[in-house]
Structure 1
């Protein structure tokens, strides 16, 4: 395989139609979230009573704006959420895309610099969290070295997390730029238990989704 001479400028994922992207890098993310809600409710049949829809719409907008705020605080690039209006709104899962840069470390000559070997970083990640209740594995995604990390995050009511969540992260080294890693972070509460059948199915779905990941160059 020929190594790229320049880093990719983007990526593609084959998401189902009921998942929406909230861009966080440009434009008004809050307005984009409101537009998503408006678009979703525009598809509701006209014979559905408005008095039943209004509280649902307000709750959806509140939760969507809260998710946008959380993603922006984490300096994420994109936020993906499932939008289903079949009797209820399902916001029990999310995908947050971000970029990680490796911290500098000092060499034997005392000069700081980025680690240049993604494989060495992968080994550090795989060994650094062993025995911590985190499931770690490595492989390749679209020709790039990737590390998969899965864990259960406990509930944190004080931080706004009322339920424990199942989390799966894919950290993918960026071709042509060993200091950068693409991060896709999936989170779900399942049906209320991060270890239940729904959570298992959603994690399996996310793993399948990541097989569709492709780099793109302008």
Structure 2
């Protein structure tokens, strides 16, 4: 599945402007755009999930299952919308024999530059680190590099369970913050979260983090 939802229009020298992004996900994942077309996407995903309920499922269990599925899915989408994100990706089909507890949230962040402030060579990386540090996460692993020719900062950490916020299990989180070409104050953010097989440091969590890193290695800007 190719996802190309976000739209930008920034000129990069003589290159075509960046108009969005492209990631390639397995068919087990579904995209819920959060700025427009959200309800249509939610309804389509839920209808598809309900259509896969085994035919021999007792009728008295189908109704409660559908209601709980819709409640959880809409809750996740609602939280993502409130955060101001662009897109939410969720695994809606089992991968092999395993149901995956994970998500990818795509958003953008701005770091306004003070008028007249000079841009030093190392400033973009420092700006990304400042953005990632605003939420008070401590003890995270940080690294920097490039993704499709743009500066990228990667952060990985474990978030504790937070029942009041709906997080009943600790989760492993990996975020990529990528500078939007042509706009050094604008950053694309892809945040991956998984509970693994019940522990954020178990083997399944490790495999999923490796998978997300591979996914982001193939991230591409959409231009023109």
Offset of residue 31 of structure 1:
4.2
- Tell me the alpha carbon deviations over residues 4-29 of structure 1, each in whole angstroms, 9 at most, x when there is no partner: 556411111110000000011112x2
Query: How many residue pairs are counted as aligned between the two chains?
Result: 209
- Do structure 1's residue 82 and structure 2's residue 91 form an aligned pair? yes
Within 5 Å, give how 1:139-178 maps onto structure 2: 139-178=145-184
Deviation at 1:48, TM superposition (A): 3.5
Alignment partner of 1:81: what SS? strand
Counterpart pick for 2:123 among 117, 120, 127: 120
1:12 counterpart = 2:40: no
Q: Counterpart of 1:202?
A: 208
- In the alignment, structure 1 segments of 5+ residues that lack a partner are 106-111
Matched, 1:53 2:62: yes
Counterpart for residue 101 of structure 2: 92
Counting only pairs closer than 5 Å after superposition, residues 8-47 of structure 1 correspond to structure 2 as 8-27=18-37, 29-47=38-56
RMSD between aligned residues: 2.8
CA 1:118 to 1:25, structure 2 compared with 1: closer, same or farther past 3 Å? Answer: farther
Native 8 Å contact 1:138 1:147 kept in 2: yes
C-alpha distance after superposition, 1:121-169 (max 9, x if no partner): 313545886x931000011111111000001111111222111111100
Structure 2 length-normalised TM: 0.82
Closer, same or farther in 2 for the Cα pair 1:161/1:113, shift >3 Å? farther
Match of 1:109 in 2: none
| Uncovered stretches (5+) of structure 2, i.e. residues with no partner | 1-11
TM-score (norm 1): 0.84
* 1:51 Cα deviation after fit: 2.9
Given the alignment of the two structures, is residue 102 of structure 1 paired with residue 111 of structure 2, yes or no?
yes
Q: Distance in 1 between matches of 2:92 and 2:121?
A: 36
Which residue among 203, 219, 224 is the counterpart of 1:213? 219
The alpha carbon displacement at 1:62 in A equals 0.8
Distance 1:43 1:166, change over 3 A: same
